[in-house]
Structure 1
Amino acid sequence: MREVTPTGLNAPASTRVAIVCFDGFDELDCFITLGLLNRLRPLGCSAELCGPGSAISSMNGVQLQLQRPLEWANEAEAVLFGSNLYNRALAENSALLDRLQLDPLRQRVGALGSGSLLLARLGLLGDMPACCDAATRPWLLEAGVRVLENEPFHAHGPVATASGGLAAPLLAAWLMLHLQGEAATREALRPVVAAGAREPAVDRLLAQVRSACAGGWEHPA
């Protein structure tokens, strides 16, 4: 795939994106966001997989060598959580989650599927509603979070949630728009959408992201 190339003369500031993974992670959530965000690597955006230990196993038994320790997420400019077979147990694991000190005042934070439960446990959702899968819904309700029915994506300020087996491009596009703007996001997405009607497909994806941002779309600085 052709990567996005920088158009300016000055080297861009580095933006680090931590994709947090634990044993039982969903491959689609982690690998799609990793692949899409790293298409902006020439513009200074670098996404890496982080988590406890050095290696973990996916929900389908894929062995993964982690690139960064879990605490690296505290330093990153953006942090994303994916679905996981064990997110309910992880949400109750204070010893593990207390190692994460995330701050939406200086970081953008997002989650896919049951990853929303971890955002709730970390106190990052506040009063905002969240998207999640059907299995996670009762756990989020139990945590006092209003769950959005049949909505694949929702964002408010620096926090976003998405749900659905192939919702990862929505979360990635939301983050790419904020990090590098529309032109770079379009350039990154065009080669990865299905051939035949690429521009309309990108238009629909970006329109879906913008329409699901509470309070209207916030342009990147």
Structure 2
Amino acid sequence: MDIAVLTFDGFNELDSFIASSILNRMKQYGWNVQITCPSGFVTSMNGVRIEAQQPLEFANRADAVLFGSGIFTRDIAKDQSILSRLSLDPNTQIIGAQCSGTLLLSALDLINDVPACTDLTTKPWVQEMGVEVLEQPFFAKGNVATSGGCLSSQYLAAWVIWKLSGRDHAEKAIHYVAPVGEKELTVEHCMSVLKNYI
């Protein structure tokens, strides 16, 4: 499986790195999880500069694509020089977005007439685009999902694993990263959030 974690300038480290780390628990099964960017290097909202593992076009052939959020996402959602490089198909790909990444799904016409989740700051901007915003951490319809809140990245990652490789693998991935003493509780809660969207 090829997995693209879309990461742009001003990105939120929690979105890209947590999702990437959880998804990489599937590396032993041949999963290829890549930080995917529109340029060779991007800098996070807190000044962390990283090198892209793949160019943006990698997302077009990936089995799953996750959009992270960031402080410049509202501008990126209007930037055709970036958006035109993406050609995603929810009929053949698993696609998810976190927080302000929901703006990009809307800009790419991937959540037409479907409610979505996002963070509190982004909520009015998503509503301006005509999307109903839900007061919950995760929602999916078919192969497209959205989540709200930095730590909701665990739901997106677990959803992708569950969709592509089954619940058992999703549970094991979340169990691995969950806090000691809270592992079973964390897995149970995560699965309860996702179970209606598989």
TM-score normalised by the shorter chain: which range applies?
A: over 0.9
Deviation >2 Å, runs of 4+ = none
Picking from 204, 208, 220, the partner of 2:189 is 204
- Find the partner of 2:46 among 60, 63, 66: 60
**2:83 corresponding residue in structure 1:** 97
- Shift of residue 16, structure 1, vs aligned partner: 0.5
TM (normalized to structure 2)?
0.97
Q: How far does residue 139 in structure 1 lie from its aligned partner after superposition?
A: 1.4
In the alignment, which of 157, 163, 167 is matched to residue 172 of structure 1?
157
CA contact (8 A) 2:18 2:154 kept: yes
Q: Distance in 2 between matches of 1:191 and 1:77?
A: 23
Could you list the runs of 5+ residues in structure 2 that have no partner in the other structure? none
TM-score, scaled to structure 1: 0.87
Q: Aligned partner of 2:137: which letter? A: P
2:74 is the alignment partner of 1:74: no
> Per-residue deviation at 1:210?
1.4
CA–CA separation in structure 2 for the residues paired with 1:201 and 1:166? 12
- Alignment of 1:183 with 2:183, yes or no, is no
Partners of 2:194 and 2:174 in 1: CA distance: 13
Q: Max radius of gyration: which structure?
A: 1
Partner of 1:7: none
Structure 1: distance between partners of 2:123 and 2:29: 37
Tell me by how many angstroms 1:173 deviates. Answer: 0.6
Secondary structure of 2:166's counterpart equals helix
More helix by share: 2
Which of 139, 144, 161 is 2:130 aligned to? 144
- Partner Cα distance (2:187, 2:65) in 1: 24
Aligned to 1:195: 180
How far did 1:198 drift? 1.4
Deviations 1:14-51 (A, max 9, x none): x1010111100000000000000010011122210111
Is the 8 Å Cα contact of residues 59 and 65 (structure 2) preserved in structure 1?
A: yes
Q: Measure the CA separation in 2 of the matches of 1:135 and 1:200.
A: 29
Q: Size of the alignment, in residue pairs?
A: 198
- The sequence identity of aligned pairs, in percent, is 43
Could you say which residue in structure 1 is the equivalent of 2:105?
119
Structure 2 counterparts to residues 1-20 of structure 1, below 5 A: 15-20=1-6
Are 1:85 and 2:77 an aligned pair? no
**Counterpart position of 1:34:** 20
Aligned mates of 1:163, 1:105 — CA distance in 2: 23
